[in-house]
Structure 1
Amino acid sequence: MTDPTPPGDSTKDAERYFRLIAENLTDMVALVDTDGRRLYCTPNYAFLGDPEKLAGTDSFGDVHPDDRENIKRIFRETFRTGQGQQADYRLTLPGGKVRQIHSQGVPIKSPSGAVEKLIVISRDVTDEREAAERQRALELQLFQAEKLNSLGKTVSGVAHELNNPLTGIMGYCQLLLRDEAIQENSRHREDISTIFREAERCQKLVRGLTTFARKHKPEKTHLGINGLLQDTLKLQDSHLKVAGISVALDLAPELPKTMADFHQLQQVFINLLLNARDAMACQQREKSIRIRTSLRDRSILVEVEDSGPGIPQGSFDTIFEPFYTTKEPGKGTGLGLSISFGIITGHGGRIWAENAPGGGARFRLELPVIAPAAGNASQEPVKSGAANKDRRVLIIDDEQCVVDVAVRILRLIGLSPDTARDIETAKRKLVAGDYDTVLCDYRLPEMTGLELFTWAAAVKPALKTRWIFITGSSGGEELADSGCPVLHKPFSIEALQEMITSRLNA
């Protein structure tokens, strides 16, 4: 762009026309000299100060320090080549806030072709960039949800195949440990106890997989926060070790239980552990996480503290807002702490962040101590003996090992078991017999246990209150909507006995 005076117009008229056009644009317009000093700014530069007083100031002074050298390089290149260039950078406002800016340079050349001045046309793109980032985060969340749904189906099938043999292993171990001959042989008793403990490890691993492969309805139970933290750490142990992070636990020994949703609180603790891990990812010094629990004014206090760089000043008010993240693009959705805040608030508690005195971030959360309602008290177990011998239980499962273990346990507590390993036999026995309780597997070859329940309830409505589902995977929302209790494989003798009690007393 050459700088001729329009024919027939004075220089003053040309300046007036320029100002009239520039000051009615939505974009910001500045005229700068060869040193980068502002000669003129349109009124919409007011966020940097009085536009009149900006004249003569260094245009590079407001550029974010991390972007300044690059903008200077582009500026010099424009004057050297005479070619206007575009640039994206950040401006730092007087109050410390940062705005995203997109600029286009238009060189003004003398008749000889040398660049004398530069018109810089700029646009504040902060809002549209943030909107685009939110959109990308939502798309990523949807993609992750789809992956999780696919993973859930796969894990559910794998869990079913693993939990069936685990039911047999753990069930027979429990039966053997109750045998008098085994109780009198310390060596055999210890060997069987070891087998049982190792099977429990497998059970917890499978349960951990299914926990994160499906969503759960909020379901508050009377649980211990210390145990929940320990279970969560077991799931994350390998990830933290690979990252070179040591974990120290300082758990109050007499911490009371409270009513809480296991899966939701586990999600909160997972989020805090992952945030701590990511904050220390590039750290060369020792990486550590310390977790403490204590009781304060009838509230349970949990602290998760890391040895990372800490939380940036000015972020404490926004850290729990949706889409807020300090991670690189693509490495975080900014939803973890927001979701955690909602979960803790939904439990009647509160969560906040601070920097530890010795450095690093510290997250604190408080949960009220809530006792279970009177209706949650456990019932008296069914007593074994002659009084139960006429109480019949039908076991419907296609796994012979599961059927055999269930039969042994039911006989142990004095009940009279019957079995069916296929749908045809189950239907025939349900029609012909009168059962006090039905134990039915959710996954059956010809039809699901839920479909069989629907059929049986139509034939004999009394079975609606006598039915118990057993499952090695998950029935999703379907089983919860049936109104029937669900016993998860592998189950203990006590768990089966308690479930039978609830149905016989219904």
Structure 2
Amino acid sequence: MHAKIVPLKEILEPITDKYFYWLTAVILLLLPFSLVRYFQTGWLTLYSFHCSVALLFVLSCFIPILSRHKLVIVVVGCMTIGASANLQHGISQSGEASFVLAIVLCSVGFGVKGLILSSVATALFLFLPHLAFLIEPLIPTGIRPYNEGREGFLALGWILFCGISASYVVLRLVTGVRSKSHQLSLSLIKSANIARDLTILIDTANAPIFGVDSEGKINEWNQQAEKITGYKKTELEGLSFATAFPGDALFRTNDYRASIADVLNNTMMGEEISNFELDLITKSGESISILLNSTARKDVSGKIIGVVGVGQDITELNRMQIEQEKERKEASAQIIQASKLATLGEMATSVAHELNQPLNVIRVAAENGRRKIATDTADPEYLEKKLNRIIAQTGRAAAIIQHLRMFGREAKEEPEVIDPRLAVENALDLMGTQLRLSGIEIVTELPKSCPSILGHVIQLEQVILNLLANARDAMSDKDVPAKILLGVSADDENVRITTEDTGGGIPKDILERIFEPFYTTKKIGEGTGLGLSVSYGIVRDMGGRIFAENFNDGARITIILPIGN
């Protein structure tokens, strides 16, 4: 044999212990048959062998010192059965099978020593018939062993060959099974350790993690999820993630529940969901925001059996962003207000001229009325006409002042639906006279009807005023006809407001920077560099965009704003 025979008692002994009592019962049940055989042959030796083996097995069931060696007793029992069969029948199948089984059990259970001992014992038992003369008086006439001479040696060789070969085969099989079993045990232990480590990792992770099965019922809810929601895993396990929760609902609106169900269904179809913002209601009724990534959970065969969601609590982050956005809007409002006041300062001359016209009309009308009264030539119809004119001009002046007050006021109202044409017309009312005094031709292209937009009409006026002022300044030192084209147009989705001038255009190296804060091409003291930057912020807050380009002999500024509902 090339294989080393290693004792495998740890495998055989549990099997022996398990079936030893059944084997004892079988041996006791066969005692009557042995007794019948004794009466048939008169051979007391065979019956004695059987009785001794039965007694040994019975005693082993009750005596601890014998009970600890059940495997040895089974081997001895097999040897005894083989010996009795050999004495009675000579070489027989039952005897050979018993000897071979004894050799296999002894070699597998006790290694090389067991193989040698069982082989020697087999040889002795096979040659017992040669010592039959010692017990010849006990053997009835006509019953004699016949495995003598050459036949006995051949039987010995055959039994040893079969026993050793069978031992080798059984040993290889048992060793292989034990090796595979050991590997399987190690794999199971490793898998159990990995599963335990993963469970610990999930449960102690600093991020909320939940899991649902294929029916959408919660089967995982880690400590962080418990902490931020106030719900324990024991409260939620087995409940539907999207529909059923104890106490207050985790999702208060049906629309939101439906969106969560869609996310779970899509993930169950194999789609990975990233950065889905999940608003939850805690057990105490507080609102929290979770940024969720979900992926399908699969078994070893690749079948999707559920969903795992890993979240990040962004409640505080959202709160900070809201506060920062509020601060940004407040700062932006202050800058817009400062820009509006600066614009009012720049329009002082134009405003003074606008007010001077109705005041002059009022003065002339009043002087003419007083002169008529002084010369006693004023009739009621004449005076009524003059007074009506004074009232109309007073209303015109009041409207200009009211518009200036509104323009200078900080906009704190919510955005409202406005007509973009109104903002254009109001801006021209404020600055049109100043532009005409500067020798600038103003051309407007306004449609008869225009979709509304969402915003603040005063802020949109400020944007247009900034664009008009920049166009005016760009043409102030140019020896070309000064002209501004102001237009409004619309399509199915957006409203466009454009200004075009003849100021020669914007240098290409600064075209991309004109909307940056404090960036200006004007001389020091002539501009703050905030006009276009403020305009950019206003348009952005209205959901639109603004851009500049060179067009013909000047610059074109385009504002695109979405149509409001």
Question: What TM-score does the superposition give when structure 2 sets the normalisation length?
Answer: 0.35
The structure whose residues are more often helix, as a share, is 2
Q: Higher strand fraction: Structure 1 or Structure 2? A: 1
Larger radius of gyration: 2
* Higher relative contact order, structure no. (Cα contacts within 8 Å, ≥ 6 residues apart): 1
Normalised by the length of structure 1, the TM-score is 0.38
